[in-house]
Structure 1
Amino acid sequence: MDTQMQASHGSALLWRTLRRHRGSMTVAVVLCGLHQLFEALVPVAIGAIVANAIAPGDRTALVAWLAALALLFIALTYSWRLGARLVVAAMEGEGHSLRVEVTDTLLRPRGVRTDMRAGELLSVATSDADRTTWILDLVARAVASAVAVIATAVILFVIDVPLGLGVLVGTAGLFAALHFAAPVIAHRTAEQQARIGTASGVATDLVTGLRPLRGIGGEAAAGERFRAVSADALTATLSAAKVRSLFAGVSTTSSALLAVAIAGWAGWLALSGRIGLAEVITVVGLAQFLIEPLTTLARVPAVVAASRGSADRVARVLDSAPLLDPGRDDVTHRDQGPVLELADLRYRTLDGLDLAVARGEFVGIVAYRPEDADAVFALLSSQVPAGDYTGSFTVGSVLARDLPIELARTLILAEPHDTFLFAGTLGSNITAGRGPAASIDLERALEASAARDVVDLHPAGLDHPVGDDGTTLSGGQRQRIALARALVADPPVLVLHDPTTAVDSVTELNIAEGLLELRHGTDPRTTIVLTSSPALLAAADRVIVIDDGRVIAAETHHRLAETDAVYQTVVVR
């Protein structure tokens, strides 16, 4: 997606944000505008007190004017409180809505075609969603500041026409000059957010893969990689901060100089006898008051640029195309032929793969090259768009590309090697994928997956808390809990990818026996295991061997172990 399109989508998202809250924001803008109008009237009231009460020494008038001033402060205080409350409520509500929209997009069954890492997507769903809502606060502040400038100019017009014109012309010139910095700020801010997102993605990968990295001694290399990415993010952040700081300094200084010029002009008018003491007090008070709204208006381009930069990234996710095809609504699963069949299939490293699995069969797949196993698993888990592979892939004699994704995932459950557990309890994780038609008893699934030992290890049993991604459990415990979850779901076809790499050989044998008993008894289901585990392969009805993207053998484990030297090297332990 090019930058221009991203900017267009980001701008559209900002307009949509304003439209969704137009009711509450209209009231908020009016209240904030009244607050600034009342603020502008304070110097006028003070000048009136001097002219009508202090100068003539009228105590009654002084009490009355002080009471009026108190009421003015009450009005400006409550108008600001109520207006600010509405703005904050709109920002928090919109931030929540954007986070839900991003999450809903990422979780849709057909997936999302995006090149962002998990950490980048997390950054979009959090910090970028919040930054996008800045536009609501900016509109309220900008309109209120414009009201303040106009009110000040009108008051100064009454005192001296050239003085009022000077405020309007000076404000317009300041705003126009600073507006040219907006594109630079937008570019630097967008680059900053993108590099921070990349760093977050690398950090997420590093943390989730920390245990394997320690196993292979890769902490130093991973640390160097993150250090380099983080340094890029720091450079982008400092570059953006430099521009924003320069902009803030120039805008604040310019606003202050304009206010000083107004006060100096008023002093010259007083010395020349054109205005009195009360008017001088009013003008000086207005000049001091004017600094804040002028500064706010001067910073509008910078805030808009930052908000639009984040809106671009949010829109990029929301506008992402689905990864998978929708399938055909008129297609239903038909129990004919093999439950799964791949014919002359080419995808990634697969080169004309032919593979068929019968209903109720327990099949082991040994891929001599890990990339072949990854490609087969990706296909069987419905993660590959139809346009990304050639050949035929059928599920129960129906082309996989024609199956609606919801139906495909009720037929086939694929449990990846890199298991993921959610924050919650052991029980909530195990039953997370249980469908209404599942007939597998929880206790039987625990026994078959050897997860009963994991549950009994903790006094709370199934209520034992689990941290994000199961970090409170060992690798072997996570694998067994994930396997129990897959078994409880009771899918017609279960695909497992190296489900026992972190468990000992005895536990591995128990799991192989448990799979046979649970899924291949009186009502057999189909089970496909991509593995090099001799225990699992020995339990399979047959073993399919893949090398260089093609099937090179299909026999029982015992036959292959006796006759195939390469197979012996890969599998026999």
Structure 2
Amino acid sequence: MTTTEGRAAPEPASPTTPEPVPTSAAALRSRSLRRHRRPITLGVTLLSTHQLCEALVPVAIGLTIDLAVATGDITALLWCVAGLILLFTCLALAYRTGARLTLGVVEREAHLLRLESAHRVLHPRGQRSGLRSGELLSVATSDAEQAATYARAWAVGIAQVTAIVVTTIVLLTINIPLGIGVLLGLPLMLLLLRVPAARIARRTETKQATAARATAMATDLVGGLRVLMGIGARHNASLRYGQASDHALTASVGAAASNGVYKGLVTAAGAVFLACVAGTAGWMALRGHLTVGELVIVVGLAQFLAEPVQGLGMVGQMFAIARASARRLVRLLTAPDAVTPGELSLPEPLSERVPLVELREVGHRTLEGVDLTLRPGEFLGVLATDPRDAEALVDLLAGRAADARGTTLIAGVPLPDLDLVSLRGTVLVEEHGSHLFEGTLRSNLTTDTDTGTDLDDERLLTALDAAAAGELVTGHPDGLDRPVTDRAANLSGGQRQRVALARALAAAPPALVLHDPTTAVDAVTEEAIAQGTAALRVAHGGGTLAIASSPALLARADRVLVLREGRVCAEGTHTRLAEDDTYYREAVLR
């Protein structure tokens, strides 16, 4: 079973080499490192080489002073200058190549995470993450990009540690007490900086969540703008969005404040550390424990050391942000399936003696003990006076009711036992809230994904005529190639509803479920739709179940079931029920 957005499609292949879905943020981050290990390893090597060369610059200058400048040896000076040129050449090339490799890893990983997120969202089985459309968009874009920075954070972090280790070794070589002081002071400072890093992670996660909710609300409001204008609810909607936006702003400001304080602490800590090392080295030079060249080396290394210290602080911030985004990604990727299919396939063609859909004492949400049978070629109407009953029945027939009670048979096979292709290829649900997509009228009508080919023009035009939407083609110079903007904003509500119905009719499924397909059209158009839909479905030989209160549709039905308080309380033709059942007559003919 499916909606018209994707009918009877085989399960799509994963965009990358099949891997177990990470069940935690830590597993997601580890996988990022594992699947890019070669470029990351090379990038780490080159960035570490760059930091090594950076650390050796003050060493080379100090040695030049002691070996060439202090002695006046021109030959030694020339060798030192040549060494400095070679050192700076290696420094520049190593950084350029290493940065390109690691940034490339970030872009590739972000791309893979976006594909994986989109694959999960668009999977035929669906997902129950509890995230709305705008939140899903935020996770698949912003969170994917930020989670991907984990790989670069590792590369940069290792390079900064390399710089600190080399600096410490050189300092230990020059003066052991001075080197030990640096060796003990740095870990203590980094340990203290972990406290604000945890706060950054929490505030970043809150910021991402509130921003996603605001995006989701904005998406919903834009999609329903015409309805809001029609019922005069723009002011209330604006107030609600303003509140959501204020929450997102507050969270963003809080996260930015934490980041600012953290950066300030890192800078201040690095400056204090530099002052301590430089002061100690100066005192030792005055006492004669260091030469002039060694003093230059120590002060230069201490000054250089501020860079990797600050870099490690920023790496901690990158790790915190990546962890927060990874948690949101894992929530989506590990969300349970909305539909859990079995392994049985239906034979082709289906037997005409077996009902297409059969419900036996089925209960789901507000439904209780519902019996329903849809046979091949039958037009069955269902009047649900409570919208909750209609929605529960749609969920049940769309395969989204894993907790349903009773027995649901599709072509004689229990629904939980059917594989996904058979499930979606037999019953197509045209929901009341169907969507159209940016493209053309033709691309929105073409749903024959079983064969991967487009439907022919004659079949599409026939479906449009049956849905009373033929004027969309005849009244436009581009015909079926008429442009459709995002969310079909260039079509009216009635036109969008009729195109969605035409899409379902063109698909010609064995069983078609319609949920209020004529609520946005006038009475004359409604009559034309009812007549055209019934005639086309008879021609196709498929079964049709119309969940509606439209007298025009119900009048075309072979039988009508009346759902009241979650149960079938009456059954008969539209004419007989309208004559004999007061409740039905008041509900339909009011």
TM over 0.5: yes
1:61 and 1:180 map into 2 onto residues whose CA distance is 49
Q: Check conservation: 1:332, 1:403, Cα contact below 8 A.
A: no
Q: Does 1:408 align with 2:439?
A: no
Specify which of 362, 366, 370 is matched with residue 345 of structure 1. 362
Specify which of 202, 206, 215 is matched with residue 191 of structure 1. 206
Distance apart, 1:57 and its partner CA = 4.7
Query: 1:191 is aligned with what amino acid?
Result: T
- How many residue pairs get aligned? The number is 565
Query: 2:376 is aligned with what amino acid?
Result: R
RMSD over aligned CA atoms reads: 2.4
Question: Which string of whole-angstrom CA distances, capped at 9 and with x for unpartnered residues, describes residues 430-474 of structure 1?
Answer: 103454398982221122122321123332222233222222322
Specify which of 538, 549, 552 is matched with residue 555 of structure 2. 538
* Aligned positions of 1:160-239 closer than 5 A: 160-239=175-254
Specify which of 14, 22, 32 is matched with residue 17 of structure 1. 32
Q: Does 1:377 align with 2:394?
A: yes
SS at match of 1:338: coil
1:434 and 1:454 map into 2 onto residues whose CA distance is 24
1:536 and 1:321 map into 2 onto residues whose CA distance is 37
Deviates more, 1:127-136 or 1:219-228: 219-228
2:53 and 2:77 map into 1 onto residues whose CA distance is 20
- Provide runs of 4+ in structure 1 moved above 6 Å: 437-440
Q: Which residue of 2 aligns with 1:152?
A: 167
Distance apart, 1:427 and its partner CA = 0.8
Give me the TM-score of the superposition, normalised by structure 1: 0.92
Q: Does 1:395 align with 2:410?
A: yes
Q: Does 1:572 align with 2:584?
A: no
Q: Which residue of 1 aligns with 2:17?
A: none
2:471 and 2:63 map into 1 onto residues whose CA distance is 84
Distance apart, 1:58 and its partner CA = 5.0
Question: Which string of whole-angstrom CA distances, capped at 9 and with x for unpartnered residues, describes residues 300-343 of structure 1?
Answer: 43322221121111112222222222223366586343222222
Distance apart, 1:245 and its partner CA = 2.5
Q: Which residue of 2 aligns with 1:498?
A: 516
Specify which of 227, 236, 244 is matched with residue 259 of structure 2. 244
SS at match of 1:352: strand
2:295 and 2:287 map into 1 onto residues whose CA distance is 12
* Aligned positions of 1:110-125 closer than 5 A: 110-125=125-140
Deviates more, 1:540-549 or 1:422-431: 540-549
Distance apart, 1:420 and its partner CA = 0.7
Q: Which residue of 2 aligns with 1:462?
A: 480
Specify which of 79, 83, 87 is matched with residue 68 of structure 1. 83
2:344 and 2:450 map into 1 onto residues whose CA distance is 22
Give me the TM-score of the superposition, normalised by structure 2: 0.90
Distance apart, 1:144 and its partner CA = 0.6
Specify which of 420, 432, 439 is matched with residue 417 of structure 1. 432
2:23 and 2:568 map into 1 onto residues whose CA distance is 49
Specify which of 294, 306, 321 is matched with residue 291 of structure 1. 306
Q: Which residue of 2 aligns with 1:555?
A: 572
Query: 1:486 is aligned with what amino acid?
Result: A
Q: Does 1:524 align with 2:523?
A: no
1:8 and 1:332 map into 2 onto residues whose CA distance is 37
Query: 1:275 is aligned with what amino acid?
Result: L
Q: Check conservation: 1:434, 1:488, Cα contact below 8 A.
A: no
Question: Which string of whole-angstrom CA distances, capped at 9 and with x for unpartnered residues, describes residues 201-242 of structure 1?
Answer: 222222222222222222222222222233333333333333
- When residues 434 and 307 of structure 1 are mapped into structure 2, their CA distance, relative to the original with a 3 A threshold, is closer
Q: Does 1:443 align with 2:458?
A: no
2:174 and 2:416 map into 1 onto residues whose CA distance is 77
Distance apart, 1:7 and its partner CA = 11
* Aligned positions of 1:303-318 closer than 5 A: 303-318=318-333
1:300 and 1:89 map into 2 onto residues whose CA distance is 18
Q: Check conservation: 1:36, 1:145, Cα contact below 8 A.
A: yes
SS at match of 1:356: strand
Deviates more, 1:91-100 or 1:431-440: 431-440
2:448 and 2:554 map into 1 onto residues whose CA distance is 26
Query: 2:536 is aligned with what amino acid?
Result: L
Deviates more, 1:558-567 or 1:88-97: 558-567
* Aligned positions of 1:1-40 closer than 5 A: 9-40=24-55
Query: 1:480 is aligned with what amino acid?
Result: R
Specify which of 459, 473, 484 is matched with residue 502 of structure 2. 484
- When residues 329 and 390 of structure 1 are mapped into structure 2, their CA distance, relative to the original with a 3 A threshold, is same
1:267 and 1:7 map into 2 onto residues whose CA distance is 53
Q: Does 1:364 align with 2:381?
A: yes
SS at match of 1:419: coil
Distance apart, 1:25 and its partner CA = 0.7
Query: 1:455 is aligned with what amino acid?
Result: V
2:63 and 2:490 map into 1 onto residues whose CA distance is 71
Distance apart, 1:107 and its partner CA = 2.3
1:567 and 1:520 map into 2 onto residues whose CA distance is 26
Deviates more, 1:170-179 or 1:220-229: 220-229
Identity of counterpart residues, as a percentage?
45
Q: Which residue of 1 aligns with 2:18?
A: none
1:488 and 1:350 map into 2 onto residues whose CA distance is 31
Q: Check conservation: 1:119, 1:197, Cα contact below 8 A.
A: yes
SS at match of 2:24: helix
Question: Which string of whole-angstrom CA distances, capped at 9 and with x for unpartnered residues, describes residues 338-362 of structure 1?
Answer: 2222222211111222222222111
Q: Which residue of 2 aligns with 1:3?
A: none
Specify which of 355, 359, 371 is matched with residue 372 of structure 2. 355
Relative CO higher for 1 or 2, CA cutoff 8 Å, sep ≥ 6?
Answer: 2
1:244 and 1:338 map into 2 onto residues whose CA distance is 63
- When residues 309 and 61 of structure 1 are mapped into structure 2, their CA distance, relative to the original with a 3 A threshold, is same
Q: Does 1:127 align with 2:145?
A: no
Question: Which string of whole-angstrom CA distances, capped at 9 and with x for unpartnered residues, describes residues 175-221 of structure 1?
Answer: 12222444333333323322322222222222222222222222222
Q: Check conservation: 2:363, 2:370, Cα contact below 8 A.
A: yes
